[in-house]
Amino acid sequence: MIVVMKTASTTEHVNYIVNLLNQMGLSGWVIDGNPQKMIEVLGVNGQADRALLEDAPMVDRVLEEAKPILAASRLPGEKTLEILLGSAASIRARKLGIIAGPCSIESEGQLLEIASAVKEAGAVALRGGAFKPRTSPYSFQGHGERGLELLARAGEETGLAVVTEVMRCDHVDLVARYADVLQVGSRSMHNTHLLAAVGRQSKPILLKRGWCATLEEFLLAAEYVMLEGNRNVILCERGIRTHETYVRNTLALAIVPEIKRVSRLPIIVDPSHGTGQSHLVTPMSNAAIACGADGLLVEVHHSPPQAWTDGQQSLDLEQFRSFMKGLKAFAAAADREL
């Protein structure tokens, strides 16, 4: 049970409710939400005198659910939130947001060559990893801040918004200085402190679904961000781990129309991690758009066999151009535009 306080509630009001709970033999845990404070009721739910709580003047309402989706839910008739990716780009209404670029930022030359090509082909934003979460400590972990500098420069030169991953709470300010969009990766979807930290700044968040997260856990991760005041969350399906072996992950596209039904947040699809195979990127991107995705996150490299990371799932520049051309018909069929 969760007691939602009215917006203007003070600490005193909150304490009043906590005392009321104590008198019922329960405890209260205070959630410092923005704009509304809340109190989770701890102990045996059945002991709470709901009417008494609802009657308290500074209480807005009392929720029976343990894990409500308060900020990310879609209201009846509501449209998907429009989200600006920096000053130049956006994910909004009919316009699809295609974000493309290398898995890892390797060098200035590499990044600029790829950035120019994806811009020309129609991408609205550039992706590139500076801090890399890797399975092995003996694998390249990214160029760090130098990578961020290269990314920001490539964004300026091409006019593309830039997207990159942030992996730890004490890096949020650093990454936000360089990036237009902060990515919270799959391995971090359950990192609640990081979610709250990116929620306390204003740049939009690209939140990837965890490897085996449920729909509810995915939306609750978005709640962690939104509860802090940042409503600019873009969800991203990138495949789940199953028994399948011909793909790196199983792209579970049904989550796209389901998210559109229950949530106001836009959702894009990462067909690169979602399949792990470059030859599957194009058909699965077409499918993603066909079932309602608001955009795509695609790995592109000027020379995939030489890529430091994820070469097997990267399109080369020529493939990306064909990819974008082919996508147009599916965008049109879905009543969207590139």
Tokens of 282: 């194009």
Would you count residue 322 as binding a second copy (CB under 8 A)? no
Least distance in angstroms from the C-beta of 156 to a second copy: 25
Scanning the chain, the segments in alpha helix (DSSP H) are 11-23, 50-55, 108-121, 145-158, 172-178, 192-199, 215-226, 255-262, 271-275, 278-290, 317-333
Would you count residue 109 as binding a second copy (CB under 8 A)? no
Shorter beta-carbon distance to a second copy: residue 89 or 130: 130
Would you count residue 122 as binding a second copy (CB under 8 A)? no
Candidate list 148, 151, 280, 297; residue touching a second copy; CB under 8 A? 280
The span of 10-18, 153-161, 229-237, 270-278 binding a second copy (CB under 8 A) equals: 270-278
Rounded CA-CA distance 63/71 in Å is 14
Phi and psi torsions of 296, nearest 5°: -140, 155
3-class DSSP assignment, residue 30 = strand
| Number of residues counted as binding a second copy (CB under 8 A) | 87
Written in H, E and C, the secondary structure of 236-254 is EECCECCCCCCCCCECCCC
Least distance in angstroms from the C-beta of 159 to a second copy: 29
Would you count residue 36 as binding a second copy (CB under 8 A)? no
Tokens of 313: 């799932």
**DSSP per-residue letters across 101-117:** E-SB---HHHHHHHHHH
Least distance in angstroms from the C-beta of 81 to a second copy: 19
Rounded CA-CA distance 42/275 in Å is 43
Using CB under 8 A as the binding rule, the residues of this chain from 211 to 230 that contact a second copy are: 211-212, 214-217, 220, 223-224, 227
Would you count residue 252 as binding a second copy (CB under 8 A)? yes
Using CB under 8 A as the binding rule, the residues of this chain from 58 to 97 that contact a second copy are: 66-68, 70
Least distance in angstroms from the C-beta of 19 to a second copy: 16
CB neighbour list of residue 114: distance below 8 Å, 6 or more residues apart: 101, 102, 126, 300, 301, 302, 317
Shorter beta-carbon distance to a second copy: residue 89 or 268: 268
Binding map of a second copy across residues 142-181, x = CB under 8 A, - = no contact: -------------------------xxxx-----------
